[in-house]
């Protein structure tokens, strides 16, 4: 199988065969064909295996800590590879931000909140994780957001968080917090451009439908139109969105 891969890559390999080849390096000198089948069956797909939590992988009979660690390492490697290949330096429209946001959650099965921090020409200064939580919730304070933005001397930020297993439709709390934070950051001369919700390959902005003047003259204004393909928004049917838990700065 190794020689076959080195000769022609993964062309012609089934999903369980790719997993089988991978498991050879964590479980040597053992037939792992049946185990690779079991992984796909347990988590529903090849992607599901790499999206699975470490603890859930360890529950599969035959998968020890070494094999589970290798699988999660590969998932994180996929994500880093995709982000490292990102050659966009100026994020002047929603599609660029959305494409980046989707890559940010490759192999991520829990809810995480990130902030993209920009200078006054919309060049990305840094992407920082603000909070991490369980599958359905993550807690973040407005103080944390403000401190990260000020520390990096950011002129503007875009929040990004995911709804694992849900849809990219923002909850009422997402909308409330986004509006509140936008007003709060304005006191520090920092613009909250938007809050992007990601679910799988889908994403959409909390402030969808708004058209706002961008204060940076050198940057193309962000404008959000209707639900058309050119916006970069992949639309899916609404469902119950995961809730992120927010706390006001005064309560911290």
For position 228, what pLDDT does the model report?
Answer: 32
State how beta strands 191-199 and 156-162 pair.
parallel
pLDDT attached to residue 75: 87
Distance CA 122, CA 215 (A): 11
Q: Helical H runs in the chain? A: 2-8, 15-23, 33-43, 46-51, 54-58, 65-84, 94-104, 142-151, 172-186
Domain with CATH 1.10.150.20 in the chain: 2-81
Q: Is the dihedral of CA 116, 141, 113, 147 positive or negative?
A: positive
Cα–Cα distance between 60 and 49 in angstroms, integer?
11
Banded model confidence at residue 238, pLDDT cuts 50, 70, 90: very low
Taking the C-alpha atoms of residue 108 and residue 50, their distance in angstroms, rounded to an integer, is 9
Q: What is the pLDDT of residues 192-216, one digit of tens each?
A: 999 999 988 888 888 876 544 443 3
Q: Which residue has the tokens 């990096």?
A: 152
pLDDT at 195: 92
Mean pLDDT rounded to a whole number for the chain: 79
pLDDT at residue 222, rounded to an integer? 41
For the chain, what percent of residues have pLDDT higher than 90? Answer: 27
Residue 131 has a pLDDT of 84
Enter the CATH code of domain 2-81.
Answer: 1.10.150.20
Q: Which CATH class is domain 88-251?
A: alpha beta
Q: Quick check: 246 pLDDT over 90?
A: no
Higher pLDDT, 246 or 117: 117
Instruction: State the Cα–Cα distance between residues 242 and 249, nearest whole angstrom.
Output: 22
Q: Which residue has the tokens 């706002």?
A: 212
Burial (CB count within 10 angstroms: exposed 0-12, middle 13-18, buried 19+), residue 249: middle
pLDDT tens-digit profile of 148-174? 899 999 999 999 999 887 788 888 888
What pLDDT is attached to residue 231? 35
């Amino acid at each position: 199988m190794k020689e076959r891969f080195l000769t022609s890559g993964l062309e012609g390999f089934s999903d369980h065969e790719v997993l089988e080849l991978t498991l050879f390096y964590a479980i040597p000198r053992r037939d792992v064909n049946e185990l690779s089948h079991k992984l796909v069956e347990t988590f529903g797909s090849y992607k599901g295996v790499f999206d699975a939590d470490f603890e859930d992988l360890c529950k599969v009979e035959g998968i020890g800590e070494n094999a589970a660690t290798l699988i999660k390492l590969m998932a994180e490697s996929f994500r880093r590879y995709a982000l490292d290949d990102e050659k966009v330096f100026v994020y002047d429209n929603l599609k660029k931000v959305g494409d980046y946001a989707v890559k940010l959650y490759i192999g991520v099965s829990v809810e995480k909140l990130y902030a993209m921090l920009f200078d006054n020409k919309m060049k990305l200064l840094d992407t920082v994780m603000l909070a991490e939580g369980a599958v359905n919730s993550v807690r973040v304070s407005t103080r944390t957001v403000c401190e990260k933005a000020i520390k990096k001397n950011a002129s503007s930020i875009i929040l990004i968080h995911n709804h694992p297993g849900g849809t990219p439709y923002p909850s009422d709390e997402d909308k409330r917090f986004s509006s509140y934070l936008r007003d709060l950051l304005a006191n520090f001369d920092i613009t909250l451009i938007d809050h992007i919700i990601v679910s799988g390959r889908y994403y959409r902005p909390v402030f969808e439908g708004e058209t706002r003047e961008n204060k940076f003259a050198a940057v193309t204004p962000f404008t959000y139109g209707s639900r058309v393909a050119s916006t970069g928004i992949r639309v899916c049917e609404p469902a119950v969105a995961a809730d992120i838990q927010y706390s006001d700065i005064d309560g911290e």
